Amino acid sequence: MKRFEIKLLLLVALIVTTFQRPASAEINAIEVERSIRRGIAYLRKTQLDNGGWEEFNGNHPCGLTALCTLALLNAGVPKDDPAIAQAMKYLRAITVKDTYSISLQTLVYCHYGAAGDLPRIRENAQWLSKSQTTGGGWNYGRGTGRPDPSNTQFAVLALGAAQDIGVAVDPVVFQRTVNYWEKGQSDDGGWGYSIGSLSSPPTGSMTCAGIGSLVIAKGRLGESTSSVGENGIRCCGGDSDQRDPVQAGLAWLEERFQVNANTNAAQRTYFYYMYALERTGRLTGKRFFGQHDWYREGAEKLLSLQDQFQGYWSGAKNWEEPTVATSFALLFLAKGKRQVVIGDLDTNAPANPVARREWKPHPDALRQLIRHVERSWGRDLTWQSVRLENAALTDLLQTPVLLISGQDALQLADDRSEMLKQYTEQGGTILFEACGGDGCGDASAFNQSVSKLCNQWYPDAPLERLPASHPIWTADRTVKADLLPKDFWVYGVQACCRTPIFYVPKSISCRWELGDHLMKADDDEDPFRGEIEQCVRIGQNLVSYATGRELKDKLDQRLVLQASVLDRTERGTTRIAWMDVNAGGADARRALPNVASIIRNQAEVAISVPSESVGIDDKSLSEVSLLWLHGRKSFQLTAPQRAALRKFIDNGGVILGNAICGNEAFANSFRTEINAILKDAPLRSLPADHPALSTDYLGYDLSKVTIRRSIREGDGIDVLKQVGPPRLEYSQSPDGLVSVVFSPLDLSCALESTNSVQCPGYDTQDAAKIVTNIVQMILHQ
């Protein structure tokens, strides 16, 4: 790979703006994946011939085997892998009667997902339910004994997983669990190992256990701000003066956050704590605890502790032996790095208590939505919450879709508003939802502020009702509009080739939060099931549309395209100008400055880009080397304009045209006009072996670029990818000089922001390479 090609890849990944957080350490997704693979190899090596692992002690006859199997499955080992097959055979042959073993065994069965294991899951769930103490906790399960929070959290994990796959669990069990944890919480918000004992201070691992258990139990109880009554759905999320034990626990954890030790606990439980920390971050949607990126910091620490020769982790002897520690480390690394598809954004500043209403009126909504997306996509995903006040642009871009809810008018500082606008310009998608109606008050102030904000960000693209042909209705699942709530529709702002902003005038997350109704087979007669299902489908369509099902790894550096205009004409500068022919080219006005920034930095070519479009006359074109012509509708040139362009070409200028979003009307007009101007050299297909697609002009090898296009597939839209040379057309003069290059597939939207599912064309990196090669050709042909 040539020196400047490496520089392009680095530049596209690392270009920063003033809104970016300084880069922290130096861990990346490749290193984490390598670490996971080495940990998997160690567990494979230590598996016994009978399919199990050497158990920790005689008290938990299959506990360690279940833990190792759970770690391998979450780390990506296929279900049909011989190691998994042997482990499952071993686990199915054992009947156990202790809380840890039964809980872990159940978690494995639920994750594996075999229909034949349902009776085992049901039996285990019944055993756990009957073993719960009257106080709501669990002990080791071997007769009488005092319940403890460690056994309790594993039982809750297993019962929650069982209910998620359709096994009935008595709600009384979860209610007792809630009572157990709330009663045992200390005044400062934490939990200790001996619930209610002053001699047992809160620890990091037990506080994580309390937070996670409450989230699971309350979620399975349907304890939410949404409800279904005789008269309809009520969406009364909002303010509460009551102490929230989960938030109190999170506050305790944030104040004492660390990844070097289990806070206030013996070091012998360190890896156990890290697994609990991952679970807390994932279940609560937290990416940051305070200012700490828990996954990045935790992964860095774990990688530093991994044995460099054999790939295992090891803790205290007789507590966290290598197989135990390695399993917990793998669970942290693998589950914690699940890809994020959506997040809720807290836009309220704590310094303004009047404006600080409840920003998250339906706290279980995103978890419920993600469950349905996971089923549709067939992979594990996650969500997260982001606080706007502390966020950098790269933090926002970690989340492809942001949900902003409210009743009161949005009050954004100018720099925060500008950053949200840049988030949408860089490929992010925002869903605004008004939390009014449905028994929840008036949201007209929020509606007005959203309309004003959209007009400020996109003055030429109104917020308007989206047509039935828009992918929001079909991208993943077809929405039946007649089943939607009364007075409900989806509105959007269409900018360039995508809709970066969506708006719903009634709460949609309220319906997402009621998603459990869709998991119950006996609820077919529920009169509101159809309404809930259609709103969940809109959510599924939204994330499919916004991402094209292409997600970044949690540790990947986010692409930030930084446009800059340098209108300079000193000697040696290659001047690229945009020609406006009233064909909608202004819709992607950032494309040319963006690619100019990339070319200037990676190829060290002096590029000049004027801030305004160039006139189509001899004088205006005389200082231009490359003329950029793009659009998304038909156009027609005048005779003087054709003459000026012919003279521009005769003087050595080159025209680069592309159809925004692959628009056929523009493509047909472009071909007609160029062929009229160059009757002696009409457009034709650029052969795959043309020097412009090679390194001959000090450019890139473009023999294998990725071409994307969306197709209707069943009930949704799929993005197909084809690898090969770019589909370009060109005109060449008799002396062999290329004068026109045209892409009927999209370049502009890829350079304007990240890829749109609506646009047939190239990804951002390939689009930049294509334009770079053309510039290099101009300089060298």
Answer whether 371's CB lies under 8 Å from 365's CB: no
Question: Are 380 and 331 contained in the same domain?
Answer: no
For the chain, the first-to-last Cα distance in angstroms comes to: 23
Residue 420 pLDDT > 50, yes or no? Answer: yes
- Residue pair 542/491 in contact (Cβ under 8 Å)? The answer is no
- Domain end residue (candidates: 337, 352, 378): 337
- Kindly indicate the confidence band of residue 753, based on its pLDDT and cuts at 50, 70 and 90: low
**Structural domain ending residue among the three candidates 497, 530, 547:** 547
Question: What pLDDT does residue 196 have?
Answer: 61
32 Cβ contact list (under 8 Å, min separation 6): 299, 303, 333, 337, 555
Q: CA 490 → CA 159, 428, 433, 468, 538, distances in Å?
A: 37, 18, 10, 10, 9
- Could you tell me which residue, 341 or 623, shows the higher pLDDT? 341
Rounded CA gap, 525 and 292, in Å? 47
Phi, psi dihedrals of residue 31, rounded to the nearest 5°: -65, -40
| Nearest-angstrom CA–CA distance, 55 and 61 | 7
Per-residue model confidence as pLDDT tens digits over 12-31: 433 333 343 333 446 888 99
Same domain, 331 and 345: no
Do 518 and 378 lie in a common domain?
Answer: yes
pLDDT for the residue 19 = 41
How far apart, in whole angstroms, are the C-alpha atoms of residue 92 and residue 79? 15
- 643 and 687 housed in the same domain: yes
What pLDDT is recorded for position 430? 96
pLDDT-derived band at 439, boundaries 50, 70, 90 = low
The answer on 164 and 139 residing in a single domain is yes
Q: Give the pLDDT score at 559.
A: 57
7: pLDDT confidence band, cut at 50, 70 and 90? very low
Q: Which of 367, 379, 340, 212 is nearest to 279 (CA)?
A: 212
Same domain, 192 and 127: yes
Does residue 553 lie in a domain region?
Answer: no
pLDDT tens by residue, 140-153: 886 567 899 999 99
Judged against a pLDDT cut of 90, whether residue 251 lies above it is answered with yes
Closest-CA residue to 588 (of 740, 716, 348, 756): 756
| Residue matched to tokens 């062929």 | 675
Q: What is the CATH number of the domain that holds 68?
A: 1.50.10.20
Task: Determine, yes or no, domain membership for 233.
Answer: no
106 lies in some domain:
yes
Residue 319 CB-density burial (10 A; 0-12 exposed, 13-18 middle, 19+ buried): middle
Whose tokens are 């929070």? That residue is 149
Q: In whole angstroms, give the CA distance from residue 398 to residue 337.
A: 12
Q: Are 430 and 423 in contact (CB under 8 A)?
A: yes
Scanning 356-443, the segments in alpha helix (DSSP H) are 365-377, 393-397, 414-425
pLDDT exceeds 50 at position 2:
no
Q: Give tens-digit pLDDT for 633-692.
A: 999 999 999 999 999 999 999 999 999 988 999 999 999 999 999 998 999 999 999 999
pLDDT at 565: 46
Question: Which of these, 465, 473, 474, 468, lies nearest to 494 by C-alpha position?
Answer: 465
Tell me the C-alpha distance between 38 and 40, whole Å: 5
Average pLDDT for residues 689-702, to the nearest whole number? 90
How many domains does the chain contain in total? 3
Q: CATH number for the domain including 469?
A: 3.40.50.12140
Examine residue 567 and state whether it is found in any structural domain, yes or no: no
As a whole number of angstroms, the distance between CA 129 and CA 441 comes to 40
Please check whether residues 616 and 699 belong to one and the same domain: yes
- In order of 65, 147, 168, 306, the CA distances from 102 in angstroms are 12, 16, 17, 29
Instruction: Please compute the mean of the pLDDT values over residues 157-182 and round it to a whole number.
Output: 94
- What local confidence, expressed as pLDDT, does residue 665 receive? 96
Residues 6+ apart with CB under 8 A from 23: 557
How far is the CA of 558 from the CAs of 295, 396, 551, 740, in angstroms?
A: 16, 10, 11, 34
Instruction: Kindly give the interhelix angle for 63-74 and 82-92, rounded to the nearest 10 degrees.
Output: 150
Assess if residue 83 is contained within a domain.
yes
Same domain assignment for residues 599 and 708: yes
Whole-angstrom Cα distance, residue 537 to residue 515? 11
Q: Where are the alpha helices (DSSP H) in 466-528?
A: 509-513
The pLDDT tens digits for 72-125 are 999 999 999 999 999 999 999 998 889 999 999 999 999 999 999 999 999 999
Q: Can you read off the two tokens belonging to residue 261?
A: 């030790």
What does the pLDDT average to over 165-194? 93
Which of 337, 369, 385 is the C-terminal boundary of a domain? 337
DSSP notation for 589-615: TTHHHHHHHHHHHHS---EE--SSPBP
Residue 568: is its pLDDT beyond 70? Answer: no
Q: Rounded mean pLDDT of 531-545?
A: 93
Residue 355 lies in a domain: yes
Radius of gyration, alpha carbons of the chain = 29
Highest mean pLDDT among 42-51, 476-485, 740-749: 42-51
Say which DSSP state 286 is in. B
The 10s digit of each residue's pLDDT in 55-71 is 876 667 889 999 999 99
Q: What tens digit of pLDDT does each residue of 342-378 get? A: 999 988 755 443 333 455 678 888 988 998 999 888 8
Are residues 405 and 422 located together in one domain of the fold? yes
DSSP-H helix ranges across 433-528: 444-457, 509-513
Confidence of residue 394 (pLDDT cuts 50, 70, 90): confident
286 vs 598, residue with greater confidence: 286
What gap in Å lies between CA 318 and CA 320, rounded to an integer? 6
pLDDT at residue 9, rounded to an integer: 38
Question: Would 13 be classed as within a structural domain?
Answer: no
Q: Is 644 found in the same domain as 517?
A: no
Averaged pLDDT score across all residues of the chain: 85
Per-residue pLDDT for 204 more than 60? yes
β-bridge partners, 630: 658
Of 396, 383, 395, the C-alpha closest to 424 is: 396
Q: Which of 226, 351, 368 is nearest to 285 (CA)?
A: 368
Whether residue 512 is found in the same domain as residue 617: no
Determine the Cα–Cα distance for residues 312 and 526; give it in Å rounded to an integer: 51
Q: Distance between CA atoms of 451 and 183, rounded to whole angstroms?
A: 46
Kindly state whether residue 596 falls inside one of the protein's structural domains: yes
Q: Give the mean pLDDT of 289-305.
A: 93
- Whether 622 shows a pLDDT value over 70: the answer reads yes
Whether residues 736 and 681 share a domain: the answer is: yes
pLDDT band at residue 602, thresholds of 50, 70 and 90? low
Q: What is the residue range of 496's domain? A: 341-547
Position 354 scores a pLDDT of 35
